Chain A
C-alpha cells in the first residue's frame, strides 16, 4: 500500500488561504469518510486537526477546514498566520488488510 500523495510544499503570505491536497485511491480515501489531518511542528508530536474528512476537534481553530471529493481530500487554512508554519499530514483508513495509510507530508511556509 503506497502512501497518499501530498504536495511537498505549499506557501502563502499572512492572511491568505492555502489548500493542501491528499490523493489516494478507491481503496482508501475514495472508499471511506475516514480521512484525518495532522499538524506537526519541528520536534513535536503531531496534533489532530480534522477527522472524518471535515470535522474539527474542540479547540482547533475554525480557520481550519477539510473536504473530500472522490479519491482526493483537501485541507484549507484560511487567514494564514506565522504559527501555521509546520508540516501537515493526511491519513486515511484503508480497510481491514492495510488499516491506515498516511500522506507523504506537506511543509507549509508562511512568507
Chain B
C-alpha cells in the first residue's frame, strides 16, 4: 500500500466549512475503507467516519453526525472529508487512513492541519 497524499493546511473562520482531500491509488479506493481520524493539538486520536469501497456507503461517529460528510471521486482516486459549522474546537490535524479487514488503520496520510480562528 502506498501512503495516501492529503491536501495542504487550511485556515478557516468560525462557522465556515472545510474540505480535506486524500488521494490514494485506484486499487486502494476501490478495495479498502477510507477512514478519517483527527487529533487536536496535544490531544489524542478521534475517529470521525469512514466510506466503504464498493457501495460508497458511509458511517459517522455520533459526535459528528450532521456536520461531517465523507465522499469519494473514484475517477481521480480521491476521498474527501468535509466538516461544517467549524468552531475553535475543530482546530486539529485531520488524517485519512486506509482500513484493513481487521478493523485496524493500516496506512496513514501525512495529515492536514486545519486551524479555526477569527
**Number of contacting residues on B, CB 8 A?**
23
In chain A, what residue has the closest Cβ to B110? A45
CB-CB under 8 A from B100, the residues of chain A are 51
B62 and A47 contacting across the interface, CB-CB below 8 Å: no
Q: Contact at A45–B47, with CB atoms within 8 Å?
A: no
Measured between beta carbons, the chain A residues less than 8 angstroms from B102 are: 34, 36, 51-52, 55
Known: A36-B102, A45-B111. A102 touches B50 (CB 8 A): no
The reply to whether B45 and A38 form a contact with Cβ atoms under 8 Å apart is: yes
Q: How far is the CA of A51 from the CA of B50 in the complex (A)?
A: 18
Interface residues of B in 41-62 (CB under 8 A from A): 44-47, 50, 59, 61-62
Flag if A91 contacts B45 (CB, 8 Å).
yes
Instruction: Determine which of B45, B59, B62, B108 lies in contact with A102 in the assembled complex, contact meaning CB atoms within 8 Å.
Output: B45
Q: What is the distance, in angstroms, from B55's C-beta to the closest C-beta of chain A? A: 15
| Nearest A residue (CB) for B98 | A48
Q: A49-73 vs B: 1/0 string, CB under 8 Å?
A: 0011001010000000000000000
A79 at the interface (CB under 8 A from B): no
A residues neighboring B (CB under 8 Å)? 1, 3, 32, 34, 36, 38, 45-48, 51-52, 55, 57, 89, 91, 93, 96-105
Q: Which residues of B contact A (CB under 8 A)?
A: 35, 37, 44-47, 50, 59, 61-62, 95, 97, 100, 102-111
